[in-house]
Structure formats: structure tokens, C-alpha cells
Amino acid sequence: MTKSAFGPYAWLRGDALDVAPQLIGCELYHHTAAGDVGGRIVEVEAYHGPADAASHAWRGPTPRTAPMFDVGGVIYVYRSYGIHLCVNIVTGPLSDGQAVLIRALEPLRGLDIMRTRRGNASDRLLTSGPGRVGQALGLTLAMSGRSLGRELILERPSEPLSPQLIAHGPRIGIAKAVDQPWRFWLAGSPYVSR
């Protein structure tokens, strides 16, 4: 009985570059009375604090990005291009603005709900991209700043994924720091974006 005083999400309190690959294979759900909606994380991107020019945390905390400077295990939701909602998991051990963007899931639970929200898109396109994930899970801006374990839950696989299954490369959709190989995905998964 050596349960951490920080709860089941204490392992998130590390460097985003270290935590990001460990999130591949975990399952993320929006937990509702109607059931869980979500699936297995197959693609993420690390955002590495104020030193990362592509990060929302680059210029320090603002009202929007304050959750990024909270402790690991907190959720950061933002609106992208005025249309989409995207979800990050804050990871920093130092509350220094580190987070991991969830870019794609493999749909596992609540498929019917996700299909309805996504306009009956094919399973392949349900959650293949950060905006699609946000729409399928029914994210809201109100979730930003809250901790995992309530409406959003994260489940770790019983067995860690073999490192050989985790690929990495440059991030997508950003203008700065594009050279950093801080995107991680499950090799061969058809649900990875692009």
C-alpha cells in the first residue's frame, strides 16, 4: 500500500518530453452519466514551456494559459481558429508551462455519441486530429483548469507499451520551432492525423 500522496496522476508530473510518449496507449474518456466517450491515445505533441516558441506558454502565463502553469494532471482546453476545442494534459513538475496536446484517439467507447457529434463521419475520421477529438468528446472551455479524474479521466495500460511501437517526429500546424521532434504517435495506427 504505497499509493502516492498525489494520487493516480502523479506520474504526469514530469518533463513534457518524458511524459508525452508515456501517454501513447493510455485511454482518455469524457465520463458522463450516459457513459464514457473516448478511446486510446495514439498521437500527442509536447509543448515545452516558456522556452518553446510554439507553445501558448511562451510569453508566460495569461488568463487563458494559466492552467498550463498549474501542476501536472490539470487540463488545458483552448479554442483553435475560433472553431475547434483542443485538449492538453499539463505535465510540468515545476509549474513552468509544460503540457501535452492530445492530437488523435482510437475510438473505443461511446462510438454512437461521437458519430452523432461528428456528423456521422467514418470511424477513421472520428477522432483523428485535435479539433476532431474535441468535438467527439464534447469538450467545453469550462473544463480548462480542472483536474483529471472528474469529467475527463485518463487510464493507463496495465502493461507499458513497447518503446518500439512509439514513433516520433516534427510537430504539425505550427510556424515556430518546427524542427523539434516533439510529436509522438503509435506506429502504424490508422487513427493518427495526416
Partner DNA sequence: GGAATGATGTACT
Partner DNA sequence: GTACATCATTCCG
Alpha-carbon distance 38 to 118, whole Å?
13
**Shorter beta-carbon distance to DNA: residue 9 or 76:** 76
* Interacting positions 90-109 with DNA (CB under 7 A): 99, 101
Q: Is 45 in the site for DNA (CB under 7 A)?
A: yes
Q: Which is nearer to DNA, 22 or 55 (CB)?
A: 55
**Rounded CA separation 63/75 (Å):** 14
Q: How many residues bind DNA (CB under 7 A)?
A: 39
Segment near DNA (CB under 7 A), from 31-39, 52-60, 150-158, 184-192? 52-60
- Interaction between residue 88 and DNA (CB under 7 A): yes
CA atoms within 13 A on the CB side of 59: 3
The dihedral built from the CA positions of residue 60, 99, 182 and 108, taken in this order, carries a sign that is: negative
Buried b (16+ CB within 10 A) or exposed e, 126-161: bbbbbbbbbbbbbbeeebbebbbeebbbbeeeeeee
115 binds DNA (CB under 7 A): no
Q: Which residues bind DNA (CB under 7 A)?
A: 45, 47, 54-57, 59, 62-65, 68, 76, 78-84, 86, 88, 99, 101, 118-119, 121, 125, 129-133, 141, 172-175, 193
